[in-house]
Amino acid sequence: MGRVVVTGKVPKPALDILRRAGHEVVAWEREEQQSRAQLLEQVSGADALVTLLTEQVDAELLDAAGEQLKVVANVAVGYNNVDVEACRSRGVVATNTPGVLTDATADLAMALILMTTRRLGEGERVIRSQTPWQWGMFYLLGSGLQRKTLGVVGLGSIGAATARRARAFGMNIIYSSRSAAPRELTSELGAHRVDLDTLLAESDVVSLHCPYSPATHHLLSASEFAAMKSSAYLINTARGPVVDEAALVEALKGGQIAGAGLDVFEDEPQVHPGLLDCENAVLLPHLGSATIETRTAMATLAADNAVSVLAGEDPPTPIG
């Protein structure tokens, strides 16, 4: 059978799937990420790689694995860390884990909407810092969601799940995307499609759910923030580089927008230092899929992908 290298620590059920299929499993068991040099050494001779989004799967890594490599099973729905063309040119199948993290990420997006609009992060920092406070009619006033407009950029599965949650809070939905969403979905959500400029101008909350690609790099920058309402909020649970963080800092500090909730950053795990000074920004360390159930489902799906390819079968969720 094959040699499967798991490049980061994953839930045990995923390793069990690989071992039950009879494969030799070489797994990184530490919480911290291994160095690039360690990674290049670890993958040598692998028939399959189970990778995390923290690893860059590029030509160098593929060549370090060797010509016998058959599959890269990425434990993430996004795959901007995987050079898909480099895999394809070497005859390596690349897979990801869509679908299983939809609800967890949508829950977090909704949590960020509530945290930013109601200024919950600021309130918690008051308590934890033991800053003196007193209830008042105008103290830490936030904004309600009822009858406000949520603009969803990318109405895929996660964007749609977030919109459903927002509808339960009484929000109206508009969206922008490369193609129109199915009629059944837009009817369910009461949503209509607009271009990005219109979405930015009309939304009280803008929530990003588009994939990252060269076309979406800095999709939101200075001109886009200037087009938003000064009372509007930005939510990003997609990928960090979709937002120009330097421009966002200026927009937050200059009052061009009211606030932002971010679960992803341009240069993770580094965060733009200006964001740390913005009281109107809620900042989370990429927790979108961070539930026990979801992370286990992601890892086991990646394992199923690897096992299928090594058995000469089509994987459940190939990329492309």
SS (H, E, C) 239-261: CHHHECHHHHHHHHHCCCCCEEE
Burial of 146: CB neighbours in 10 Å, binned 0-12, 13-18, 19+: exposed
Q: How many distinct helices (H) and strands (E) make up the chain?
A: 13, 12
Radius of gyration of the chain (CA): 21
Buried residues in 297-319 as b, exposed as e (16+ CB within 10 A): bbbbbbbbbbbbbbeeeebebeb
CATH of the domain at 187: 3.40.50.720
Indicate if 96 and 229 belong to the same structural domain.
no
- Quick check: 84 and 201 in contact, CB under 8 A? no
Indicate if 140 and 68 belong to the same structural domain.
no
Confirm whether 219 is domain-assigned.
Answer: yes
pLDDT digits (tens, 9 = 90+) for 62-71: 999 999 999 9
Indicate if 264 and 134 belong to the same structural domain.
yes
Indicate if 125 and 226 belong to the same structural domain.
yes
Indicate if 134 and 168 belong to the same structural domain.
yes
CA distance 94 to 278: 39
Confirm whether 319 is domain-assigned.
Answer: no
Confirm whether 320 is domain-assigned.
Answer: no
Indicate if 174 and 252 belong to the same structural domain.
yes
pLDDT digits (tens, 9 = 90+) for 52-88: 999 999 999 999 999 999 999 999 998 999 999 999 9
Structurally, the chain folds into a number of domains equal to: 2
Residue 85: closest CA among 320, 309, 312: 320
Indicate if 88 and 159 belong to the same structural domain.
no
Confirm whether 253 is domain-assigned.
Answer: yes
Indicate if 246 and 171 belong to the same structural domain.
yes
- Quick check: 238 and 212 in contact, CB under 8 A? yes
Q: Answer yes or no: 286 catalytic.
A: yes
Q: What is the pLDDT of residue 189?
A: 98
Active-site entry in 24, 122, 188, 268? 268
Indicate if 115 and 228 belong to the same structural domain.
yes
Range of the domain at 271: 102-283
Indicate if 38 and 153 belong to the same structural domain.
no
Q: Answer yes or no: 119 catalytic.
A: no
Ranges of residues in the chain with a pLDDT under 50 are none
Active-site entry in 3, 119, 239, 272? 239
Q: Which residues contact 236 (CB under 8 A, 6 or more apart)?
A: 207, 208, 242, 243, 260, 261, 262, 263, 264
Indicate if 64 and 174 belong to the same structural domain.
no
Q: What is the pLDDT of residue 74?
A: 98
Confirm whether 316 is domain-assigned.
Answer: no
Q: What is the pLDDT of residue 1?
A: 84
- Quick check: 246 and 272 in contact, CB under 8 A? yes
Q: Answer yes or no: 268 catalytic.
A: yes
Q: 252 — phi, psi (to 5°)?
A: -70, -45
Indicate if 201 and 274 belong to the same structural domain.
yes
Q: What is the pLDDT of residue 259?
A: 98
Confirm whether 318 is domain-assigned.
Answer: no
| CA 224 to mean position of chain CA atoms | 21
Confirm whether 317 is domain-assigned.
Answer: no
Strand arrangement, sheet containing 71-74:
24-27, 3-6, 48-51, 71-74, 93-95
Cα distances (Å, whole numbers) of residue 246 to 183, 220, 249, 309: 38, 11, 5, 42
Active-site entry in 19, 118, 167, 286? 286
